[in-house]
C-alpha cells in the first residue's frame, strides 16, 4: 500500500478512475472524494449505469453503432434515407454528425482507421461488412467522413478501391476543417456544411 493513502479502499478506487483516458491521479482523487460525499443511492446509480452498459449494450448488426437493440434506432427508422451511408470512424463521430441535423441517411461505423504503425489493418475494421452492405443493393451513395489524417486518407483510398467496382457513388465530406483535425472536434455548423457540400471522391490522394 502506498503510504500516501490513508485507506486501501480509497487507493483502489483512485487507481480504477486513473485508468480512464485523460484522468490523472489528481483528478481521480477529486472524483472519488466527490462520490464519497454523495448519497448512497446516487453512487449506486452511477456504478449500476456503468455495469449495465457493459452487460447490455450491443452493437447494431447493420452499422455497428452502439445500440440497445439488435438493429439501432437510426437503421430501423423508416424516415431515414437508407440509400445513403456515411462512413465514420467511431460512435462519437455518429453523434457529431447527428448533432448537425444536416444528415438523414444511415451510417457505417468502421471502428477506427487503417494504421500500420498501430498494427491496425483493414481486417481489424468493419470494411468488409460495408462492402457486403453495398453489394446487397439499395445504397446509391457512400459518404466518406473520416479524419483528414494520413490514416484517414489511406482508409478512404482503400474503401474506394473496394467500392469503386460496385458502381456506387462515392463522395467525401468537404473540408472546412484544418487538415489533421478529427471529425469529432469540428463544430456543428462547420461539420454540417461540410456534409452538405460534399464532393465526389475520385481516388486521387
Ligand atoms: Zn445501425
Q: What is the mean pLDDT of residues 86-104?
A: 93
Whole-number Å distance, alpha carbon 122 to ligand 1 midpoint, is 20
Whole-number Å distance, alpha carbon 106 to ligand 1 midpoint, is 7
pLDDT of residue 191: 85
Residues 195, 188, 104, 77: what is their CA dihedral angle, to the nearest 10 degrees? Answer: 150
> For the chain, what is the largest distance between any 2 Cα atoms, rounded to a whole number of angstroms?
66
Kindly list the strands in the beta sheet with 81-88, ordered across the sheet, starting from the edge strand earlier in the chain: 105-109, 81-88, 141-144, 169-172, 199-200
pLDDT of 190 above 90: no
Q: What is the mean pLDDT of residues 139-146?
A: 96
Q: CATH number of the domain at 66-200, please?
A: 3.40.1360.10
**Fold of the CATH domain 8-56:** Helicase, Ruva Protein; domain 3 (1.10.8)
> Looking at the chain, which residues constitute the CATH 1.10.8.420 domain(s)?
8-56
Q: What is the mean pLDDT of residues 77-99?
A: 95
23 three-state secondary structure: coil
Whole-number Å distance, alpha carbon 172 to ligand 1 midpoint, is 21
Q: What is the mean pLDDT of residues 111-139?
A: 95
Q: What is the mean pLDDT of residues 125-140?
A: 97
pLDDT level of residue 5 (50, 70, 90 thresholds): confident
pLDDT of 3 above 90: no
pLDDT of residue 77: 97
* Opening angle at CA 163, ends 201 and 172, nearest 5: 25
pLDDT of 54 above 80: yes
Mean pLDDT rounded to a whole number for the chain: 91
> Looking at the chain, which residues constitute the CATH 3.40.1360.10 domain(s)?
66-200
Phi, psi of 180 (to 5 degrees): 100, -15
Query: For the chain, how big is the Rg over CA atoms in Å?
Result: 21
Whole-angstrom CA distances from 103 to 17, 169, 202 are: 36, 17, 22
Whole-number Å distance, alpha carbon 158 to ligand 1 midpoint, is 22
Enter the pTM of the model.
0.80
pLDDT of residue 183: 65
Amino acid at each position: 500500500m502506498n503510504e500516501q493513502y490513508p485507506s486501501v479502499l480509497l487507493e483502489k478506487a483512485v487507481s480504477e478512475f486513473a485508468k480512464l483516458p485523460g484522468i490523472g491521479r489528481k483528478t481521480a482523487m477529486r472524483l472519488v472524494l466527490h462520490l464519497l460525499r454523495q448519497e448512497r443511492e446516487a453512487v449506486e446509480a452511477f456504478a449500476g449505469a456503468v455495469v449495465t452498459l457493459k452487460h447490455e449494450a450491443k452493437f447494431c448488426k447493420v452499422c455497428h453503432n452502439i445500440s440497445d437493440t439488435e438493429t439501432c434506432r437510426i437503421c430501423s427508422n423508416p424516415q431515414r434515407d437508407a440509400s445513403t451511408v456515411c462512413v465514420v470512424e467511431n460512435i462519437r463521430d455518429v453523434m457529431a454528425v447527428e448533432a448537425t441535423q444536416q444528415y438523414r441517411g444511415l451510417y457505417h461505423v468502421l471502428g477506427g482507421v487503417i494504421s500500420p504503425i498501430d498494427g491496425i489493418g483493414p481486417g481489424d475494421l468493419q470494411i468488409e461488412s460495408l462492402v457486403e452492405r453495398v453489394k446487397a443493393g439499395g445504397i446509391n451513395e457512400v459518404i466518406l467522413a473520416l479524419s483528414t489524417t494520413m490514416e484517414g486518407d489511406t482508409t478512404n483510398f482503400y474503401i474506394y478501391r473496394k467500392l469503386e467496382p460496385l458502381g456506387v457513388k462515392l463522395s467525401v465530406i468537404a473540408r472546412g476543417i484544418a487538415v489533421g483535425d478529427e471529425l469529432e472536434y469540428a463544430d456543428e455548423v462547420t461539420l454540417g456544411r461540410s456534409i452538405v457540400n460534399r464532393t465526389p471522391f475520385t481516388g486521387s490522394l
